Homo-oligomer: A and B are copies of this chain.
Amino acid sequence: MKEKKVTPYHHGNLKESLLETALEMVDTEGLEAITLRELTQRLGTSRSAVYRHFDSKETLIIGVIQKGYADLDLLFTPIFQDRTHSVAERFEMMGRAYLEFAIEHPNLYRLLFGENYRHEREEACDYKDENQATGLYALIGLLLEAQEEGIIAKIDPIVQAATVWASIHGLASLMIDGHLMMSDNFEEIYKYSQSVLLKGLL
């Protein structure tokens, strides 16, 4: 039986592997930890091999962002659409899942919802619509349901969605960036924020 070559000249699936490994590196060690040398070394290729698949490091990271959004959608969309729970319950589940993700994957969360590569993201507006916005549209859908049930006021759901998202994103950001010195109360703060939101939205 022929022994498998340890390091074949062609990797075979380098582009996807780069994205996967980079995503993993961001998640565990932060964006700064991604160097092309370290990244390619882990895959057994040379630094410059990246440039056969991406224009620059920036382009690669944007690919990672896209991948991250896609993964997130798989996580969140089912919660929004889970008809076995009431709208109010789903609202609570959504907020909790969102915060849990941010706290368990702070580096990834910052990459997806922070400043990084803002300009480039804005240029690639098609991807923006496809991925980044789907979560927001799911939230809008949930709010429309809530409007129908009379739980919240019937006003522009886009404005409502921005308000809700900002509230939870603010909580998540302050928390993972170490600005909530009262973080031992975090559960209490979250519950209070949710109650303020639901009360205020009516």
Which secondary structure dominates chain A's binding surface?
helix
CB <8 Å contact, A174 and B166: yes
The residues in A between 179 and 195 inclusive whose CB is less than 8 angstroms from any CB of B are: 179-182, 185, 188-189, 192-193, 195
Residue of B160, B181, B196 touching A163 (CB-CB under 8 A): B196
* A37 interface residue per 8 A CB criterion: no
**A135-170 CB contacts (< 8 Å) to partner B:** 155-156, 158-160, 162-163, 165-170
What's the interface size class on A, roughly?
35 or more
Interface string of A93-128 (1 = CB under 8 A from B): 000000000000000001001110010011000001
A12 within 8 A of B: no
Contacting residue for A177 out of B115, B156, B179, CB 8 A: B115
Cα–Cα, bound, A182→B140 (Å): 13
CA gap between A201 and B192 in the complex, in Å: 9
Q: Which one, B155, B158, B177, B199, contacts A200 given CB within 8 A?
A: B199
| Bound Cα distance from A132 to B200, whole angstroms | 29
Q: Which of B159, B168, B171, B196 contacts A197 (CB 8 A)?
A: B196
